[in-house]
Structure 1
Amino acid sequence: MTRSAIGAFSSSIKIDVLIPAIEKDLGTLPYVIDSIRKQVKHPIGKIMVVSPPSKRIQALCRRKNCVFINEKSVLPITKKDIRYQTKRANRSGWLLQQLLKLAGGNLTGQRYYLVMDADTILIRPHVFLVNGKTVFYCRNWSRPEYFRTYKKLLGTKPTAKRSFVAHYMLFDKSKLSQLKSKMEARHKTRWYWAIIKKTNKQSYAGFSEFETYGNFVKAHYPGQMVVRSSLNKSLSSKPGSLTRKQIIRLARKYRSLSFHKRRWYIRKKG
């Protein structure tokens, strides 16, 4: 493990990357992929884009040398099985994307895989394993419903003081398998059905895959994690409108930029 002049570590541990996406993400997805290759300081095996059938996303994957994966091949359930409708919007697809992230271990032969949201671009070097410990990038606020669902699923209150919802996370398949086994043993059903059943369908955001996994690791492996501030910035502009000079300036204060176009869409429709 080495440290560069700017203070970022690099790691020799190879990881794969998973990005759940839909066609609305095409405005940001190419930049997300490029930023992973530039800023993730691990050898990267394959970058997998998990999506509904889409010729446009498949074409992007060919251009960017990524692996396209039809989301229907990842889990034995689809969006129609979830039935998550609030007063504001249908959230079935939103929850399905989180389940796809948790199912990503079935798609990789590596022990670790990085999940990236399709609207978040890394602008500083990132490493996710330091001296055998997983690095979690965290923020200071979350949604109470995430913690209520965690307690329903696992029977204990989460103990982390900060939120793990930071738009990207490295998963250790061994620890993730233990999390799923605990949910299945407690609820006598497959882990994804447990999550679907225990998520409050009246809540706009009733479950978080990142909050759940992060708090599970904190509870069972507190000595195997490193916590750093996510330093994420949400922007209303398009990623292509940012100049190199602007990105360099933003990188002095932030690690990543998020462009939440889908949220704007939901607000307009609501």
Structure 2
Amino acid sequence: MRRSAKSAFNRSIKIDVLIPAIEKDLSTLPYVIDSIRKQVKHPIGKIMVVSPASKRIQALCRRKNCAFIHERRVLPITKKDIHYQTKRTNRSGWLLQQLLKLAGGSLTKRRYYLVIDADTILIRPHVFLVMGKTIFYCRNWSRPAYFRTYKKLLGTKPTASRSFVAHYMLFDKSKLSRLKRKIESRHKTRWYWAIIKKTNKQSYAGFSEFETYGNFVKAHYPGHFMIRSSLNKSFSSRPSSFSRKRIIRLAQKYRSISFHKRRWYIRKRGVRK
């Protein structure tokens, strides 16, 4: 008899979790941490919050029994080294957070680590490894700039029919290391400098860590992953305004909900998206 995905996922593989954050994320971060402990059905080792120096985030980590990691422990560069300024806003911190996610393997001895955005809350049970295969949660749209940067970095076009940008992803350190080595071999520099250099700074969103890793795994490990729909819903309000009853109702249709700060800013300032 064929086992169901629920019974087939490996309960013995412990994973660590990495959440890049800044103080603007404090309105959502506690809910994100709680949702990981409730909804991720693998044993969790440690939850690491990677951030610039912040007493408020350190205090939250103590309350939530998480590890606070200063971002300088993860990468030898800072936001000031990136210089990503569009006509409307500075995106250097946005790109740095993606690089921190890709560098997060240095913080754990485990083979797998889960990365999740600090504004995304899981509202349904999640598994990320089934029968030795990684589960990627995908959506149906992406940004062309992500694919252009992928081709610049790796020399080939991405071939996935769906987008891997779902606000969270499980990384396999061995596959991720191969991706970095390939980038470094092609560009003769460290992988993060190559990404910074090849990202179009005129684009509001010129690079995606999730799109890059997901398409690399698809190209080089075609039998090592499975696809599920992300079923994510974005909101312009704050999670504190959501009742438990509303969350239960949303979970009937969605797997996760996101609270993007830019939307709060747009609504407050009256600026068009």
| Superposition TM-score, scaled by structure 2 size | 0.94
Percent of pairs identical after alignment? 84
CA distance in 2, matches of 1:266, 1:52: 25
Tell me the residue number matched to 2:125.
125
Tell me the residue number matched to 2:190.
190
Tell me the residue number matched to 2:57.
57
| Per-residue deviation, 1:265 | 3.0
Where does structure 2 lack aligned partners over 5 or more consecutive residues?
A: none
What whole-Å deviation, never above 9, does each CA across 1:139-171 have from its counterpart, x for those lacking one? Answer: 000000000000000000000000000000000
Tell me the C-alpha RMSD between the 2 structures: 1.8
CA distance in 1, matches of 2:112, 2:99: 17
1:233–1:256 CA contact under 8 A, matched in 2? yes
CA distance in 2, matches of 1:239, 1:11: 30
Greater Cα shift, 180-189 or 69-78 = 69-78
Tell me the residue number matched to 1:46.
46
Q: How does 1:225-236 map to 2 (within 5 A)?
A: 225-236=225-236
Tell me the residue number matched to 2:214.
214
Which amino acid is the alignment partner of residue 187 of structure 1?
A: H
How many residues align structurally?
268
Matched, 1:149 2:149: yes
Change in CA separation of 1:118 and 1:196 when aligned onto 2, cut-off 3 Å: same
CA distance in 1, matches of 2:86, 2:106: 31
CA distance in 2, matches of 1:129, 1:10: 7
Change in CA separation of 1:163 and 1:131 when aligned onto 2, cut-off 3 Å: same
Where does structure 1 lack aligned partners over 5 or more consecutive residues?
A: none
Tell me the residue number matched to 1:25.
25
Matched, 1:37 2:40: no
2:140–2:163 CA contact under 8 A, matched in 1? yes
CA distance in 2, matches of 1:48, 1:213: 21
1:183–1:194 CA contact under 8 A, matched in 2? yes
Tell me the residue number matched to 1:15.
15
| Per-residue deviation, 1:193 | 0.3
2:159–2:219 CA contact under 8 A, matched in 1? yes
Tell me the residue number matched to 2:80.
80
Tell me the residue number matched to 2:178.
178
CA distance in 1, matches of 2:176, 2:189: 17
| Per-residue deviation, 1:263 | 4.5
CA distance in 1, matches of 2:42, 2:111: 13
2:10–2:131 CA contact under 8 A, matched in 1? no
1:11–1:130 CA contact under 8 A, matched in 2? no
CA distance in 2, matches of 1:11, 1:47: 18
What secondary structure sits across from 2:170 in the alignment? strand
What secondary structure sits across from 2:233 in the alignment? strand
Tell me the residue number matched to 1:105.
105
Change in CA separation of 1:264 and 1:245 when aligned onto 2, cut-off 3 Å: closer
Q: How does 1:257-268 map to 2 (within 5 A)?
A: 257-265=257-265, 268=269
CA distance in 2, matches of 1:76, 1:125: 36
CA distance in 1, matches of 2:183, 2:22: 28
What secondary structure sits across from 2:223 in the alignment? helix
